[in-house]
Amino acid sequence: MPDIFGVIADATRRDILQVLLERFQRDAEISVSEIVGQLEISQPTVSKHLKVLREAELVTVREEGQHRYYSLNPEPLEMIEDFVIPFLSAGFDTEVTVEYLSEDGERIPGPGDQDAFANLDDGEEVLPEEAAAAAERIGRAAARAENRVKELVARFRLRD
């Protein structure tokens, strides 16, 4: 597989990816001639760049007779996201405060409140296994959301 950074370094390929992203968000494919029309570049140039994107597995193609329909495959771009996010979020000081409330709205001890668990017997569960698994999934989702927000803030800062 070609180096993904080298593939997306080309401005024309990034333009093609942007067109494909717009279609991907509508769950639709696009033909070469439609890309040519939108970007106003020659068909051979579009085809050449689509071949590079296909080899990098950034696009998929469906052939129907003489026509080819392209779709974005965003998975390889996740490698770039994983690489870049730590750089974009460097220097961000984000602290999340979590407060646990009862159904009545009163504050109750949470996992970080060490004194609240002093009376537990050794081996006694703080949360039932099912609730602990759910809490872990929520924590992971929150961490992913935090990374997305940091990325968007960094992008917004770059535009200023």
Average pLDDT of the residues of the chain: 82
Mean pLDDT of 144-156: 74
Q: How far apart are CA 111 and CA 100, in angstroms?
A: 9
Mean pLDDT of 125-143: 77
- What confidence tens digit (pLDDT) does each residue in 86-133 have? 887 776 666 656 677 777 888 877 666 656 555 555 555 566 777 777
Q: What confidence score (pLDDT) does residue 156 get?
A: 62
Q: What confidence score (pLDDT) does residue 128 get?
A: 72
* Residue 9 CB partners (closer than 8 Å, separation 6+): none
Q: What confidence score (pLDDT) does residue 103 get?
A: 77
| Residue-range domain boundaries for the chain | 4-74, 94-158
Mean pLDDT of 39-52: 95
* CATH of segment(s) 4-74: 1.10.10.10
CA-to-CA separations, 20 to 64, 88, 129, 131, 137, in angstroms, rounded? 18, 25, 43, 41, 31
Q: What confidence score (pLDDT) does residue 80 get?
A: 85
